[in-house]
Amino acid sequence: MGWLNKIFKGSVNRVSRGHYDGHWHEGNQSEHTRDAYDESDSEDIARAIALSLAEQDPNKGKAIDPDYSLEEDEQLARALQESLNTESPPHQNAPVENVPTESIPAREPHQHVLPSSGFRTCAGCRKPIGHGRFLSCMDEVWHPQCFKCYACNKPISEYEFAMHEDQPYHKSCYKDFFHPKCDVCKNFIPTNKNGLIEYRAHPFWMQKYCPSHEDDGTPRCCSCERMEPTDIKYITLDDGRKLCLECLTSATMDSPECQHLYMDIQEFFEGLNMKVEQQVPLLLVERQALNEALEAEKSGHHLPETRGLCLSEEQIVRTILKRPTIGPGNRIMDMITGPYKLVRRCEVTAILILYGLPRLQTGSILAHEMMHAYLRLKGYRSLSPQVEEGICQVLSHLWLESEIIAGASGNAASSSASSSSSSAAPTSSKKGAKTEFEKKLGAFIKNQIETDSSVEYGDGFRAGIQAVEQYGLRSTLDHMRLTGSFPY
């Protein structure tokens, strides 16, 4: 199953600061004084005010000082017209160049200009900027106290800020809200050498984490494959496997405990008219015992990490007799095992299942191995690994579907059933209600079967389920007995 790799980047915006004292002064410096301007600046201010008053009252406009030449007036008008035509490019937040006025009727004033006074309006409070400092950003002008972060509602005083959905943020607030955090170490995921945020994500659970955790020894749950977070301690089994706390709640830990599940799956096979008459022992074992039994077995095709075996040979196997306890450091302790001698009375001597897995995962492995037993006991010979493993995966998949459906209906009926029944059903019953995590885990195990990339298990399952859906399970099995292959 492949892992997802995510890379994304953000953008930085800048604030242009300025002040108004009759002229609009914009740039990176935030403080200027009126005394800094010479007499020619004062004359330009006087002309702009005079032209604005003349436009408001044509009669008064004729009283402008006759020393102003017509040529000078035309030059000033052209300069103001050019300032009105200047637009800031989108998302660059460049400063607005000059004050727009109403002395030129050829163009409507900007939205942030008050027609009666020539003052620009603040995009925050919608009041005129007036005399004093202002900010120019997002193609608008603002009072410094009105340009606020969308997250904390405090003014943005830094030169740079972040944007999200057309709203401004402090860079620190933006990081808190939108910069992804690692689900393992709980820190912000660092940027790579190119300045981009890069992380890994589990393809099913979507647990995201820093790429470094793939190589730093961070353990994964042996069942659901999620990485161990730094703030939660997984259970350590005696063979070194890690088990998350959610998977632990339904984990099957000893052979007696597994017998209820075994009976459920036998009933499931009987419901498909595939009853197994022979009494095949079911044993829950440690990894070492499973590997030793695999070496003693003369035939079979198995995954690189075997979790279940259908045995045909006589041998002695050590099985778990009593559920172990959890000791200091969340480690399994007090494991009690005992020898079990397998005697060959039929084609199958025993089914072995690795201990410490959740009920749904244990059941899916058991359904797979039980199908191996059925094929051997019913005389299905000379099946290719792809066909045999494929049809076993089909039965595992069908059992999981029945459990998930039964669990969903059990959730809906649990309250009424408890009030109308005088005796409570056993908690291991296949009709028992499933928690949200169990339903999610069941979907995960199904997804593992469906997306397996191996030839025997993955391609075999996809060919087998297609045949079963098209021709039915019984017709598919009959065709396999006659030809050794799936019907097409």
Q: What is the pLDDT of residue 408?
A: 62
Q: What is the pLDDT of residue 40?
A: 39
Residues of the chain with pLDDT under 50: 1-2, 22, 24, 27-117, 412-430
Q: What is the pLDDT of residue 165?
A: 87
Question: Using an 8 Å Cβ cutoff, are 364 and 400 in contact?
Answer: yes
Closest Cα partner for 123 from 108, 145, 101? Answer: 145
3-state secondary structure of 90: coil
Q: What is the pLDDT of residue 139?
A: 85
Count helices and strands (H / E) in the chain. 12, 21
Question: Using an 8 Å Cβ cutoff, are 457 and 307 in contact?
Answer: no
Q: What is the pLDDT of residue 81?
A: 44
Cα–Cα distances in angstroms (integers) from residue 95 to residues 77, 79, 164, 167, 265, in the given order: 21, 17, 21, 18, 73
Residue intervals of the chain classified under CATH 2.10.110.10 are 135-178
Distance CA 44, CA 32 (A): 18
Distance CA 287, CA 292 (A): 9
Q: By CB neighbour count within 10 A (0-12 exposed, 13-18 middle, 19+ buried), where does 75 fall?
A: exposed
CA terminus-to-terminus distance, the chain: 28
Structure tokens at 157: 């005083």
Structure tokens at 250: 């339904």
Please report the DSSP string for 190-206 in residue order: PB-TTS-EEEEE-TTT-
Distance CA 228, CA 218 (A): 7
Distance CA 153, CA 149 (A): 5
Question: Using an 8 Å Cβ cutoff, are 348 and 379 in contact?
Answer: no
Q: What is the pLDDT of residue 152?
A: 92
- Whether pTM exceeds 0.85: no
Question: Using an 8 Å Cβ cutoff, are 197 and 180 in contact?
Answer: yes
Q: What is the pLDDT of residue 160?
A: 84
Distance CA 27, CA 133 (A): 11
Structure tokens at 42: 């004062």
Q: What is the pLDDT of residue 12?
A: 58
Q: State which CATH number among 3.40.50.2000, 2.10.110.10, 2.30.110.10, 2.130.10.10 fits the domain covering 135-178.
A: 2.10.110.10
Q: What is the pLDDT of residue 163?
A: 87
Q: What is the pLDDT of residue 93?
A: 38
Q: What is the pLDDT of residue 102?
A: 31
